[in-house]
Amino acid sequence: MIDVHAHYMPPALVEKLRRDGARYGVSVIETEPACHALQFAYGLRLRPFFAKLIEEPERRIASMDKTGIDREILSSWTDLHGHGLGVEQGTAWHRVLNESLAAFAQRHADRFSVLASGYLPDAARAARELEFAVTQLGAVGAVAATNVEGMNLGELALDEYWTAAVELAVPVFLHPVQPTPTPRTRRFAMTQVVQYTTDTTLCVGSLIGAGVLDRFPRLQLILSHGGGTLPWVIGRFDVMFERSDRAAIGIAAASAPSAYLGRLHYDTILHDAQALRYLAGRVGVDRLVIGSDDSFPPADHDPLASLRAAGFSADEIRRIGEANPRRLFRLD
């Protein structure tokens, strides 16, 4: 079984940043004894590392064995992407991110594959980094943050990046980036529950509205956390598509938003059996892939058990956990 949504930061990268972080505009700071975080030169300070994010590979593999996961497709934590860095440092930072993660995966090639990140403020450089990572590092796809310094992806000039993904025939995994808590989301875990899922919805809504999926019909996108809220608010998207002056509000999509749902792929992290069954019924089992969000508090600690609890048959579980990701990432 293949888990397409798992995060990791190689301990070797942390050590490299201790020695040479200034080159990338990234430093390791101690927030309290034995507790470390990254500080970016442009002012961003990340949350301290969760223990599982930087755990030794033996511990990660043991936890995978316990839950029946044969392979994790690892992506960098999107908070790390540092899109506020300047173009030279940002490009160098993504290169070392990709090289470090790929080197880790290559040492355990029977258990891990990787997704490559890129410096999205410069689409041409992000495209070249994706090509390098796929052709030279063995990356099987890309991971992109759902916004770049507060801008939706559909509002950015990223066609060169999308073109690279299509030409390389690799999917792009869209994952939220740590939002700034608002006064209404500072308590009750609202950031994790509401802001993250809404960020995915805003991202995909912007890509549909801007016509990106029309310009790139072969672009394969994977949405984290079951697509955010998109599958549940798609009716409102359609109503506003039909009832709005589309030109006035910038909608360039050729079809109603619901027409694109079945072209997207969705991980299974919903933590609710009925919601997961609804998603499968709405988009089709062949559009689902297992995701655990391994390393973070909202993770699904037993994704196969979640599929069984949702009433999927053995054949459906095989498709979600094996056939779909193998086809999508060309793992055969």
List per-residue pLDDT tens for the chain, 332 residues long. 999 999 999 999 999 999 999 999 999 988 777 678 898 999 888 888 887 888 889 999 999 999 999 999 999 999 999 999 999 999 999 999 999 999 999 999 999 999 999 999 999 999 999 999 999 999 999 999 999 999 999 999 999 999 999 999 999 999 999 777 788 988 999 988 999 999 999 999 999 999 999 999 999 999 999 999 999 999 999 999 999 999 999 999 999 999 999 999 999 999 999 999 999 999 999 999 999 999 888 899 999 999 999 999 999 999 999 999 999 999 97
Domain ranges, residue 188: 2-9+52-329
> What pLDDT, on a 0 to 100 scale, did the predictor assign at position 216?
99
Residue 296 included in any domain: yes
Structure tokens at 238: 């359609």
DSSP assignment letter at 15? H
- How does 7-46 read in b/e, with b if 16+ C-beta sit within 10 Å? bbbbbebbebbeeebeebbbebeeeeeeebebbbbeebeb
Residue 47 included in any domain: no
Residue 210 included in any domain: yes
> What pLDDT, on a 0 to 100 scale, did the predictor assign at position 80?
92
Residue 261 included in any domain: yes
Q: Where are the alpha helices (DSSP H) in the chain?
A: 11-20, 57-67, 87-107, 123-136, 159-168, 190, 196-209, 212-215, 230-243, 246-249, 273-283, 303-309, 314-318, 324-329
CATH code of residue 191: 3.20.20.140
Residue 254 included in any domain: yes
Our count of domains for the chain comes to 1
Structure tokens at 231: 């599958």
Confirm whether pTM is higher than 0.85: yes
> What pLDDT, on a 0 to 100 scale, did the predictor assign at position 31?
79
> What pLDDT, on a 0 to 100 scale, did the predictor assign at position 104?
96
> What pLDDT, on a 0 to 100 scale, did the predictor assign at position 179?
76
> What pLDDT, on a 0 to 100 scale, did the predictor assign at position 35?
75
> What pLDDT, on a 0 to 100 scale, did the predictor assign at position 51?
79
Residue 40 included in any domain: no
> What pLDDT, on a 0 to 100 scale, did the predictor assign at position 55?
87
DSSP assignment letter at 78? G
What number of other Cβ atoms are within 10 A of residue 121's Cβ?
20
Residue 160 included in any domain: yes
Residue 73 included in any domain: yes
> What pLDDT, on a 0 to 100 scale, did the predictor assign at position 182?
82
> What pLDDT, on a 0 to 100 scale, did the predictor assign at position 225?
97
Place of tokens 């994977």: 222
